[in-house]
Structure 1
């Protein structure tokens, strides 16, 4: 894929109340994650706001030309706290988190108990192409991110762009910018931790290829 941007960075949103609820439910072996809000409205925790501000210190020294954020509240609030003063923030629904359909709010235990047939179908199809009923596959997320990158390249050629988004975004960008094939991407994803508030960056080489230069880095970030 040809992307006419100089530098692409992603900050994963800071810790959210949904992250805390998921960890508690998984640890307790519960079926369901107790979250009152819809996914788009889940807010940051106090720690999540601190993480976003810490990432902001890094971007203050390397200001992007434009910040594009997921329309989900936790990512929008992270963008607001991390973006340098004066840099335009643009919301775009193509950066939203992957939709899980019938598996939404279920723990890994809950999926095994309530949707065993779907778990078997996921194993057969593979994680990249499996789409839960009413939800999205990894490939679906890649398609909408590809559309966004094409648009940014056309409208802001050579720009430095910061995306405020979700864990899935980092994997999709590795597929699109680095050209990782599916098997290699799945191995990398299995071995990769993407902490809340972490920063990942890519720079374009003279030949147009992208190289990851900062991988899921949390504060304090390199100067």
Structure 2
């Protein structure tokens, strides 16, 4: 990336959401959640996690502390930033970018995995055949689709980032896509997609710019939540 790109990228998954909690409580029972993906708010725990994130950001050394912020348009991500900002005491404006939204689930929207298996049993076999990176739910997006829009977003940081550390507040799919974009070539094959590790709520992943590329500093770190 050119010199005007970010000197450091800090990517954060939003704090625990009400949908995260509902899905966890449902366990293996089918669940149809009542709100759309863009409407879900943080839980009380999610707000505490976001406050802890703000304290972590405030404690970073000057050269590592974000000087610009980009956020998903979804409510839980914007709430995460607002709570973190208040605890940090930072006056940074936030730029909301549609490309940082969560992976669109199409026909699976509002359904937990058990409900998907109940309503779309044939899709499990199709997902196994095409692989988790390339699999696209009916009417939704694959993780490869998310990578495509996140790659365009990262490319467009060249200039607005101005050689500064930047913060991205988004979703697990976006964090995984960032890892793929920042650590592989633009022509990486689908099988080279990121592993499906659980990216934790309010986790922090950091990359630093080194000689025209990005080097992973830490991934999926939740030490600040202890």
Q: Give how far 1:221 is off.
A: 7.0
Q: SS in structure 1 opposite 2:7?
A: strand
Post-superposition CA distance 1:52-93 (Å, at most 9, x none): 010111111333111111010100010112234111211111
Counterpart position of 1:9: 10
Report what 1:101 is aligned to: 106
Question: Partner residue of 1:42?
Answer: 40
User: For residues 156 and 74 of structure 2, what CA distance do their matches in structure 1 show?
Assistant: 20
* Structure 1 partner of 2:118: 113
Q: Does 1:150 align with 2:155?
A: yes
The SS at the match of 1:67 is: strand
Q: Where does residue 74 of structure 1 map in the other structure?
A: 76
Q: Which runs of 4+ in 1 moved over 4 A?
A: none
* Cα distance in structure 2, aligned partners of 1:221 and 1:111: 32
**1-side partners of 2:198 and 2:115: how far apart?**
23
Query: Which segments of 5 or more consecutive residues in structure 2 lack a partner in the other structure?
Result: none
TM-score (structure 2 length as normaliser): 0.87
Give the corresponding residue for 1:55.
Answer: 53
1:28-48 C-alpha deviation (Å, 9 max, x unpaired): x32223x32221111001110
Partner SS, residue 143 of structure 1: helix
For structure 1, which runs of at least 5 residues remain unmatched after alignment?
none
Query: Aligned ranges for residues 194-213 of structure 1 at < 5 Å?
Result: 194-205=199-210, 207-213=211-217
Residue 31 (str. 1) matches residue 30 (str. 2): yes
My pick for the range that moved more, 129-138 or 113-122, is 113-122
The whole-number CA distance in structure 2 between the counterparts of 1:108 and 1:183 is 23
RMSD of Structure 2 on Structure 1 (CA):
1.9
Distance 2:129 2:156 in 1: 34
Is contact 2:17-2:40 (8 Å) kept? yes
